[in-house]
A = this chain, B = another copy of it.
Amino acid sequence: MEEITALLKQKGLKVTPQRLAILNFLMHTNEHPTAETIYKKLVSDFPTMSLATVYKTLEVLKNTGLIQELNVGEGSFRYDAKTTPHPHIVCLGCGKVEDLDESIFKDLLEEVKKHTDYKVVGQKLYFYGYCPACQKKMNN
């Protein structure tokens, strides 16, 4: 928990129990939760926590670069404490979102720059498919 306190201080943010809880949760999960999910996981430990605080906190964490926001094409955003640009894969069966190795796109950015006169500063790569568990379900 100290490293998390340090991260927040380093960005000039006040260290509050709510921020610690949210950032800590995001850094120890790989399920790419939505604001709603985060809120539900945390209310039990922080009964006064409100959804508005979760949103506001996610906003500041995003703006300071401590987390990144994903949009895999649902009606809502997901959040990820792994801030290096890396591709995600979405299971169309159960909706879960997992990381893919970023080695996949080693030459991709160069290739894009060659084909456009935009000044490229970021990328989001999403793949869609069926996870092993859902494939099994479909074969039954």
Residues of A at the B interface (CB closer than 8 Å) are 69, 71-73, 87, 89, 91-92, 100-101, 103-105, 108, 111-112, 115-132, 135
Q: Which residue of B lies closest to A88 (CB)?
A: B124
* Distance from A22 Cβ to chain B, minimum over Cβ atoms (Å): 21
Chain multiplicity (copies)? 2
Compute how far the CA of A123 lies from the CA of B112 in the bound complex, rounded to whole angstroms. 16
Q: Name the B residues within 8 Å of A72 (CB-CB).
A: 71
Compute how far the CA of A115 lies from the CA of B101 in the bound complex, rounded to whole angstroms. 7
Partner of A121, one of B103, B105, B121, B128: B128
Question: Is the pair B131, A127 in contact by a Cβ cutoff of 8 Å?
Answer: no
Q: Name the B residues within 8 Å of A111 (CB-CB).
A: 104
